[in-house]
Structure 1
Amino acid sequence: MVILQHTQQISVTDAARRGVAGVVHEAEQGSEVIVTRRGEPVAAVVAFSRLAELERAEADLRDLALVMARALTDDGQRTSLDDVLAAFGHTRASLEELPED
């Protein structure tokens, strides 16, 4: 899976020469700019819409991992709310009687 698609790498020095407006303009046009220092990536400039897309994908992957983990560990046994409350010394009625903070 490719995270950044239309990338170009530029050095910090070159990014400084182009200026913020120039680098941002390239990102707005769909080119993801990887800024490097001594040949190593240190930053990326991407369009905000691409960032939002990546954040949605991250959330979807997190949800998928949770579903898969639950599916793999589910033994089919269920615990009722009343049993959980009893384990903590409460009932539905005792919870109703608690003061609201």
Structure 2
Amino acid sequence: MTVLDHPREVSVTEATQRGVAGIISDAEANDILVTRRNQPVAAIVSIQRIRRIERVLDDVRDLTLAMARAATDDGARISFDDVLAAYGLTRADLDDVEDEP
């Protein structure tokens, strides 16, 4: 997958002529690659595309974290009660905490 799938290319001059409203309208349907002297200088994409990219990025971060944890796992486990004890708490102390409304 590439970030821009078959973008419509427009020159800076053409983008200026189309105006912001025209370019935004086009970007809602198709990615736009703005060029200057035939070199890409900007990309205009829909908010849906940005949200998809963010979801993929979140998934990659989660996968990376899971892989790092798996690679460094030494098998040691700590019980919940041991964690509580390290902070001077017990399960009874947790029962005394009121839930927020």
**How many angstroms does 1:100 deviate by?**
6.3
What secondary structure does 2:32 align onto? strand
What secondary structure does 2:89 align onto? coil
Using the size of structure 1 for normalisation, the TM-score is 0.73
Contact 1:28–1:47 (Cα < 8 Å) also in 2: yes
Query: Alpha carbon RMSD of aligned pairs, Å?
Result: 2.7
Tell me which residue corresponds to 1:81. 80
Between 18-27 and 84-93, the greater mean CA deviation after superposition: 18-27
1:1-101 to 2 correspondences below 5 Å: 2-7=2-7, 8=9, 10-11=11-12, 13-30=13-30, 32-35=31-34, 41=41, 43-98=42-97
| Distance verdict in 2 for CA 1:21–1:65, change over 3 Å | same
The alignment of Structure 1 onto Structure 2 pairs a total of residues equal to 98
The separation in 1 between residues aligned to 2:88 and 2:51, in whole angstroms, is 45
Q: Which runs of 5+ in 1 are unaligned?
A: none
**Structure 1 stretches (4+) deviating beyond 6 angstroms?**
none
Give the share of equivalent positions with the same residue, in percent: 49
Match of 1:78, as an amino acid? Answer: R
Using the size of structure 2 for normalisation, the TM-score is 0.73
**How many angstroms does 1:68 deviate by?**
0.9
